[in-house]
Structure 1
Amino acid sequence: MLPSFFIAHGAPSLAIEQHAYTEFLRKLASSIPRPKAIVLFSAHWESRLQQISSAIQLETIYDFTGFPEELYAIKYPAKGDLTLSLHIQQLFQDEGIDCEMNDQRGLDHGSWAPLHIMYPDASIPVVALSVNPRLTPEEHYRVGAALSALREQQVLILGSGGTVHNLRRLDRRNPAPQVWALKFDEWLAEQLETWNLEALFSYEDRAPFAAEAVPTPEHFVPLLIALGAADTSHKARLLHHSFQMGTLSLSCWMFGAETN
């Protein structure tokens, strides 16, 4: 059984950066069995109704401006997996989660930037899924739990976002992590490692500096979804933690089975 993962996707330039986190992502892919398919929830695909990509060929979406030209030259020509998309649809329906197929959506940078590092040959089929920031934390967890059985079928479930993601507080002159950002991530780590769902589901009220770390929820909810996907295991392990520009958290959490 594969673990589920939460991976920070940082800035779009992650795809062309060279540092400890990108090196970690490269090694992570080789540390687990090669998946038959990848199911990925991206913070950059928001929808009130749960969307499931069903395109045969996924286009590379450049949902950003003002970055180096070499980024716009990157293609991640992953294929979809319609059989898996239909299976996901059935799993959601079995749990009473409304959803619909989307045969137009490709991969935004929250999806293809980390995948370009982890699986650069783009040979593994990908099914992209949207997030709905209006849901409660419990509902996000339930979305992930609905897909937990896929892990037994060698399907890799990824949530792509960022635990501390406040673009207004970035400090390009001082890359050292700010105290409030560290305090939030430290609190989060304690709750994840003890699988304290009561605290996690009320993080907005209980976590220190929650308003600063998570000013809007779309980058945080992929963590809750990935957590829910390991609901049968209740194992959490922080594999990497670093910061860019003081407040942009680059973390990777593994939920469920241990790596080899």
Structure 2
Amino acid sequence: MPALYLPHGGGPAFFMQGPMAQLFDPMKEFLAALPSSLPEQPRAIVVVSAHWEAETVQVSSGTHHDLLFDYYGFPQETYSLTYPASGSPELADRVIELLSTAGIPAEPNSVRGWDHGVFIPLKVMYPEAEIPLVAMSLHAGLNAEEHGRIGAALRSLRQEGVLIIGSGMSYHNLSELTGSAPGSLEFDRYLDEALRGPGSHRRTRLNAWEDEPTGRSAHPREEHLIPLMVASAAGSDLPGDKIWAGHVGPSLVSAWSFS
């Protein structure tokens, strides 16, 4: 299984009608077609969500998790969406074991619902909700190097048939979503250069993302970028593969696969 860095849209926009939903239609089409490009159906999925931060890394460990509708001001019907995938306490234990072995403290969490960074893209990709799912938080420090260590610790899961997804957005300046986004092309070029190199190159370049001239304009706060650090490090030393790029309004957004 590869490790993926995927955009998860804008709130529940994939399941809305109207102009805002149309902004995200190409992204939705990409996500819907993505499973057919994988080598096989995953045995399970681990999603590292931009919308969950904790002082100690949290791992969803229940057999079932409700949905956390952590978006605001959207049509009422978007608060009735369902995604009845089962959890996997066994996989959660395995994730915690791998992290602990790497010196990364982690805790099970059987009560927090799956946020929209988890259920929204998976509802498009796997609408039947037939694949067991474990969600993971970011560490609240949002340190790029630390999240690379987290990804490296999870790498062996890929050989166990587990699909690892970093769920975020490669460009996430909401103030520029409907205006101009002059930095999005430049930041995407930086990602091209950084991610199409071998593993050591990716680590060095990603750890220095703030040094890029458009780094902070692309990510005023980095929670939507940090899942990329996990996905990239969970991959092998082979160059990353850009599997999609498209515009959301003026903003250029991309998705990546690490084999």
TM-score (ref. length: structure 2): 0.91
Tell me which residue corresponds to 1:181: 184
Contact 1:6 1:161 in 2 (8 A): yes
Tell me which residue corresponds to 1:228: 233
Contact 2:61 2:108 in 1 (8 A): yes
Specify which of 127, 134, 155 is matched with residue 148 of structure 1.
155
Contact 1:14 1:114 in 2 (8 A): no
Which moved further from structure 2: 78-87 or 131-140?
A: 131-140
Task: State the alpha-carbon separation in 1 of the partners of residues 226 and 144 from structure 2.
Answer: 7
Tell me which residue corresponds to 2:172: 165
> Shift of residue 106 of structure 1?
1.9
Query: Is 1:198–2:166 an aligned residue pair?
Result: no
Tell me which residue corresponds to 1:254: 257
Contact 1:187 1:208 in 2 (8 A): no
Aligned-partner residue type, residue 233 of structure 1: D
Tell me which residue corresponds to 2:9: 10
Task: State the alpha-carbon separation in 2 of the partners of residues 104 and 131 from structure 1.
Answer: 17
Give 3-state SS (helix, strand or coil) of 1:233's partner.
coil
Task: State the alpha-carbon separation in 2 of the partners of residues 119 and 94 from structure 1.
Answer: 31
Contact 1:14 1:113 in 2 (8 A): no
Task: State the alpha-carbon separation in 2 of the partners of residues 104 and 90 from structure 1.
Answer: 20
Contact 2:43 2:131 in 1 (8 A): yes
> Shift of residue 72 of structure 1?
1.4
TM-score (ref. length: structure 1): 0.91
> Shift of residue 133 of structure 1?
4.4
> Shift of residue 87 of structure 1?
0.8
Tell me which residue corresponds to 2:247: 243
Task: State the alpha-carbon separation in 1 of the partners of residues 140 and 250 from structure 2.
Answer: 25
Specify which of 101, 104, 120 is matched with residue 113 of structure 1.
120
Give 3-state SS (helix, strand or coil) of 1:12's partner.
coil
Task: State the alpha-carbon separation in 1 of the partners of residues 176 and 27 from structure 2.
Answer: 21
> Shift of residue 254 of structure 1?
0.4
> Shift of residue 65 of structure 1?
1.3
Unmatched runs of 5 consecutive residues or more in structure 1: none
> Shift of residue 126 of structure 1?
0.4
Tell me which residue corresponds to 1:59: 66
> Shift of residue 201 of structure 1?
0.8
Contact 1:160 1:219 in 2 (8 A): yes
Tell me which residue corresponds to 2:99: 92
Give 3-state SS (helix, strand or coil) of 1:183's partner.
helix
Give 3-state SS (helix, strand or coil) of 1:147's partner.
helix
Which stretches of structure 1, 4 residues or more, deviate above 2 A after TM superposition? 232-235
Specify which of 66, 83, 88 is matched with residue 90 of structure 2.
83
- 1:138-164 alpha-carbon deviations (Å, 9 max, x no partner): 111110110100000110000000111
Tell me which residue corresponds to 1:27: 33
Aligned-partner residue type, residue 108 of structure 2: M
Contact 2:142 2:226 in 1 (8 A): no
Contact 2:148 2:229 in 1 (8 A): yes
- 1:185-207 alpha-carbon deviations (Å, 9 max, x no partner): 111111110142222211101x2
> Shift of residue 99 of structure 1?
0.8
Task: State the alpha-carbon separation in 2 of the partners of residues 186 and 221 from structure 1.
Answer: 18
Task: State the alpha-carbon separation in 2 of the partners of residues 242 and 23 from structure 1.
Answer: 11
Task: State the alpha-carbon separation in 2 of the partners of residues 179 and 62 from structure 1.
Answer: 31
Unmatched runs of 5 consecutive residues or more in structure 2: 16-20
Give 3-state SS (helix, strand or coil) of 1:120's partner.
coil
